[in-house]
Amino acid sequence: MEINQSSVLEVRDLQVKVSTKRDVLTLVQNINFDVKQGGVLGLVGESGCGKTVTSMSILQLLDKKTTTIEGSIKLNGQELNGLDPKQMRKIRGKDIAFIMQNPMNAFTPVLTIGHQFIETIRSHISCSKKKATEIAIEAMHDVNLPEPAKLLKSYPFQLSGGMLQRVMIAIAACTHPAVIIADEPTTALDVKNQKTVLFHLDKIRAEHGSAILLISHDLGVISEMADEVAVMQSGRIVEKADVFQLFDNPKHAYTKTLLEARPILQVEEQFNHLS
């Protein structure tokens, strides 16, 4: 599917503040970006720059008692900031899928994968348990999970991180979300599983036109997947550009530093392999 120029997710003047015992801290400010239908926006930046705070504010998952979100977050024109929690729960999972670094946190440990998968399908698609099971098995098959019927009877702790990650992607594939927020989806995985996860994310994008907000500190992953890139530093977006332009002709000093750090890491990795 080609990238449609219409924006599925529009973030305008996003500012997040947190109240601590002593102070009110601004965690992110002046955040502006669009994610287009079938497009991938990469969000990069060093640890602690505010990538996760940004994604959690889109999902309205920040603690309301301590944090305030200002600005506008629109999903297909609908304002999410300040939306009633019940309505937001409906949107999460169906319209916005969240794929996180540690998939174990996404599942309830005492319920089987099948229970959680089938319940999610049935909360979004009106169908029988039998039909939902068939849909789940097919989706798990599509992400190359072995013996899906058996896996559905397993508990989350019985699956590896890479397998749980693929179960989350299979769930996302069934609900055809308008937006997928993938926060460091490959960081905890080995190279083979990294490739599989990226391949299947891209497949959902291509087949269903989902817009993807891909958060990663890995510039290799970003260069492979993203169409546009936003670079964050200290709670702000310092540069936003088409992926080719950003890698070939970075404008901001911080982007240049990030890009310059890349080959040095690769050389170090080669040395590590030799030692």
Ligand X SMILES: Nc1ncnc2c1ncn2[C@@H]1O[C@H](COP(=O)(O)OP(=O)(O)OP(=O)(O)O)[C@@H](O)[C@H]1O
Q: Which is nearer to ligand X, 50 or 250 (CB)?
A: 50
Q: Give me the least distance between CB of 68 and ligand X, in Å please.
A: 12
Binding residues among 8-27 for ligand X as defined by CB under 6 A: 18, 20, 25, 27
Q: Give me the least distance between CB of 252 and ligand X, in Å please.
A: 17
Q: Which is nearer to ligand X, 53 or 230 (CB)?
A: 53
Q: Which of 39, 42, 50, 156 binds ligand X (CB under 6 A)?
A: 50
Q: Give me the least distance between CB of 50 and ligand X, in Å please.
A: 4
Backbone angles phi, psi at 148, to 5 degrees: -55, -40
Q: Which is nearer to ligand X, 38 or 235 (CB)?
A: 235
47 scored as a contact of ligand X (CB under 6 A): yes
- Listing DSSP states for the chain in one string gives -PPPSSEEEEEEEEEEEEE-SS-EEEEEEEEEEEEETT-EEEEE--TTSSHHHHHHHHTT-S-TTTEEEEEEEEETTEE-TT--HHHHHHHHHHTEEEE-S-GGGGS-TTS-HHHHHHHHHHHHS---HHHHHHHHHHHHHHTT-SSHHHHHTS-GGGS-HHHHHHHHHHHHHHH--SEEEEESTTTTS-HHHHHHHHHHHHHHHHHH--EEEEE-S-HHHHHHH-SEEEEEETTEEEEEEEHHHHHHS--SHHHHHHHHHHHHHHHHHHHHHH-
Q: Give me the least distance between CB of 28 and ligand X, in Å please.
A: 7
Provide the token pair at 210: 């989902």
What is the radius of gyration, based on Cα positions, of the chain? 19
57 scored as a contact of ligand X (CB under 6 A): no
Q: Which of 52, 60, 165, 233 binds ligand X (CB under 6 A)?
A: 52
Q: Give me the least distance between CB of 49 and ligand X, in Å please.
A: 4
Binding mask 201-230 for ligand X (x = CB under 6 A): ----------------x-------------
Q: Which is nearer to ligand X, 20 or 275 (CB)?
A: 20
Q: Which of 49, 121, 222, 246 binds ligand X (CB under 6 A)?
A: 49
Q: Give me the least distance between CB of 75 and ligand X, in Å please.
A: 20
Beta bridge partners, 155, equal: none
Q: Give me the least distance between CB of 214 and ligand X, in Å please.
A: 13
48 scored as a contact of ligand X (CB under 6 A): yes
- What residues line the site for ligand X (CB under 6 A)? 18, 20, 25, 27, 45, 47-53, 217
